[in-house]
Amino acid sequence: MEKQTGFETLRLALVGKEKSGKSRLAVTAPKPVLVMDFDGRKESIAGIPGVYAITYRDEAWPKQPSGYSDFLDDLSKLEKEASLADLGFSSTEHPATVIADSVTSLSRLIMNYELYTNTDIRRSIKVGGYETFFPKNFDAWNAEMSTMEAILLRLLGLPLHVIITLHETAEEAPDSTLDKPRYTGRVTPFPARHGRLLRYFNEVWRVERNGKIPTVQTVPDYYFTAATNLLIDKVDKPDITDLIRLHTEAYNKGRTNASKS
């Protein structure tokens, strides 16, 4: 470990409210960038060079939900070092960065698949010839989270920069109820169970938009437990490739100074 830099490939979780700029920040990562779009909002990153996007969505009932299965097929291709051409694009380059945008919507695809294929964990409601499935018990949520963690570990096993985006919400206090909600003043990923996914990422940043340009928090405070291994004090310019460059320069400078001493 003495010879490791603390940063070989980026393992980044971006947390923020909807429309806060997470997707736009994510695609500033090293190119080519492959966006695995679960939100159905790839138009938000239109016009950016070196960015490729695949949208995953379920077909309407009574067909089996296919979004999760389609994603698994492409993940398997990436594990076999697929090029962009292998994924249906004209470019023969290999992606340098893969983005799961967003985990919140990916979990919905996973849940739809789990409920469709497992009758023991679901209940159903039929309205006007349309059938909707709902979780019946905690087994459904446990199945979703177990599957999600397995998927993340597969993503993190890729020799690529990996970025995920998560939505945020106000953290509820332990004594909070539906009738009388109480909050701690902190923020946490939404849904709250996705907070445990952050442990797999060395980089946990919060994106916030108060003006035209988003701000990026990499240092923990009371409101959010951010984290970073990059040798940066603060983010002046929300550009991931530039932040990697600054980190590399700082690291190399530190090594040079250490060798001189």
Residue 87 belongs to some domain of the structure: yes
**pLDDT value at position 254?**
67
- Residue 254 and residue 246 in contact, taking contact as beta carbons nearer than 8 Å: no
Q: How far apart are the first and last CA of the chain?
A: 21
pLDDT tens digits, 2-58: 666 656 788 999 999 888 889 989 999 999 999 999 988 888 888 899 999 999 998
Structurally, the chain folds into a number of domains equal to 1
The most confident of 99-103, 111-115, 139-143, 173-177, by mean pLDDT = 99-103
Residues with Cβ < 8 Å from 80, sequence gap 6 or more?
none
Residue position matching structure tokens 């999760």? 68
Quick check: 176 pLDDT over 90? no
> 196: which 2 tokens?
């445990």
Domain of 244, CATH number, reads 3.40.50
In terms of residue numbers, what domain contains 199? Answer: 11-58+71-103+147-172+180-260
Burial (0-12, 13-18, 19+ Cβ within 10 Å), 152: buried
Residue 122 belongs to some domain of the structure: no
Residue 225 belongs to some domain of the structure: yes
- Helix/strand/coil for 52: strand
Residue 201 belongs to some domain of the structure: yes
DSSP states along 77-135: HHHTT--TGGGT-S--PPPSEEEEE-HHHHHHHHHHHHHHH-GGGEEEEEETTEEEEEE
Residue 4 belongs to some domain of the structure: no
Amino acid at 80: K
What are the helix (H) ranges across 126-226? 138-156
Residue 63 belongs to some domain of the structure: no
pLDDT tens digits, 61-75: 677 888 999 999 999
Least confident stretch, 11-15, 127-131, 167-171: 127-131
Provide the greatest CA pair distance for the chain. Answer: 77
- Residue 33 and residue 95 in contact, taking contact as beta carbons nearer than 8 Å: yes
Residue 204 belongs to some domain of the structure: yes
For the four alpha carbons of 179, 174, 145 and 107, in that order, the dihedral sign comes to positive
Segment 190-199 mean pLDDT:
89
- Residue 220 and residue 226 in contact, taking contact as beta carbons nearer than 8 Å: yes
> 226: which 2 tokens?
């951010």
DSSP state of 42: G
